[in-house]
Amino acid sequence: MVLLVAFAMPALIGAVGLAAETSYWYLHKRAMQNAADAAAIAVASETTSSYAPDARSATARAVAAKLGFQNGSGNVNVNVAQTNTATGCPAGQNCYTVTVSDVVPSFFSRVIGYTGNTSTNGVTAISASAVAASGPAYPYCILALNGNVATDFVTHGAPKADLNGCSIMANSSSTCTGHNLNAAHGDAHGTNNGCGIVQHSNMPQVRDPYSGLDSNIPIDTCGGNYAIEPQKKNDPPLPASNQLSGNLSWSGNVIKCGDVQLTGNTYIDAPANAVLVIENGQLDTNGYLLQTTAGSGLTVVFTGSNNSAYQHIPSGGGTLDISAPKTGPWKGVAIYQDPALTTNVNISSAGNSPTWDITGLIYLPNSNVTFSGAVNKASNGVYCFGMVIGTMLVNGTASIFANNTQCGEAGLTQPKGGVRGGLIN
């Protein structure tokens, strides 16, 4: 009997070992497959247009790491490749393959001669792959970037807001009460409550596509010393250089230190494009009109320091009636708040004080914007409107008419979303 047990023991050990190890292999590979699936979806869901291979790898590896497979840890490898020729990849869409590989022990199973598919030094290499396709993308005319608050985008009954042909995105959640804004798509990274004709929740966050334009902001020529030049309106009165009225011919960078105030209707003739750079100051329309003439392009840039003494916003009554440049480094951008600014950047009565008749992008990345007035296209501009803000509250009186049929002509490349990766293999 003892001899029988002795002869049977290797087989029993092998059977138990094989059962234990193959069970572990199965569970481990199932976890690897989950990581590969999630990573592939994340890569295919990325919305940045210039999505380089190293960025794709970083995304895939970050997702896999959260699920327990850290690239380079032990024998774990996470790799991603664009595979538009993969079986089942829809025509005209990008497909990505993510492969997660690791090794598992193969000790007990070796007793009965089982070594797996590629066994070396007592371990067996296993891998799991997933292929995901990107979905159709569409442009956003309003993008709320913040993402660090409960709700980025809120409207309280906005029957005059007509975002027909536009889509909106909130990097946290969105809530629209009383009116869906008639936006084609309403997307939110968190929960979408009533925004848009087609409503999506749990969408990938959209990265800031315009922060890099800050490299075009000229070096501070005001020297940071405003004691030698009054910078605040009426405190004392602004110098003549900071008071605007009449017909002005501008080109290139026009730099103003401190507040700029209209003292009469002002017409900017800038056929070669102009950039009004306001260092540590606001643009006070003061009840007057600021308008670009036919064929002219103007970008208003707010920059400076995060000092509580300075405002970095458009203000005052009247109307901002400007068309962004169609060419050059600021093409498509009408208003640009330096993304380094976080103090005194909020706007409490957008579209009302002043009214906005603007063709192009309004970029206020750290601003909490309350919109209660009107926005329409510039008198001498084409139909193209876009807003990138931190958070946005739209009151019921807000009148927003968006028509983006001519953004290509306006020179504006809008951020795109709606890309939700889907597994195809």
Distance in angstroms between the alpha carbons of the first and the last residue of the chain: 54
Q: Report the predicted TM-score, pTM, of the whole model to 2 decimal places.
A: 0.76
What pLDDT is attached to residue 21? 59
Which residues touch 266 (CB under 8 Å, ≥6 apart)? 244, 245, 246, 248, 288, 289, 290, 291
Q: Which two tokens stand for residue 32?
A: 């690897």
- Residue 323 and residue 334 in contact, taking contact as beta carbons nearer than 8 Å: yes
Reply yes or no on whether the pLDDT at 99 is more than 50.
yes
Reply yes or no on whether the pLDDT at 120 is more than 70.
no
CA distance 181 to 76: 48
The DSSP secondary structure of 227-267, one letter per residue, reads TTS--STTSSPPPGGGEEEEEEE--EEEEEES-EEEEEEEE
Angle among Cα 416, 421, 423 to the nearest 5 degrees reads 165
What pLDDT is attached to residue 79? 95
Residue 157 CB burial class (10 angstroms; 0-12, 13-18, ≥19):
middle
What pLDDT is attached to residue 230? 42
- Domain positions in the chain are 2-133, 138-423
Share of residues in the chain with pLDDT > 70 (%): 85
What pLDDT is attached to residue 387? 93
What pLDDT is attached to residue 26? 79
Reply yes or no on whether the pLDDT at 303 is more than 80.
yes
196-232 residue pLDDT tens: 999 999 888 888 999 999 999 998 878 755 544 445 5
175-193 residue pLDDT tens: 998 888 888 899 999 999 9
- Smallest CA-to-CA distance from 397 within 77, 135, 160, 115 is with 160
145-177 residue pLDDT tens: 998 899 999 988 777 777 877 899 999 999 998
230-261 residue pLDDT tens: 455 556 678 899 999 999 999 999 999 999 99
What pLDDT is attached to residue 29? 87
Cis before residue 136, ω within 30 degrees of 0? no
In the chain, the largest separation of any two C-alpha atoms, in whole Å, equals 113
Reply yes or no on whether the pLDDT at 57 is more than 60.
yes
- Smallest CA-to-CA distance from 209 within 93, 50, 378, 9 is with 50
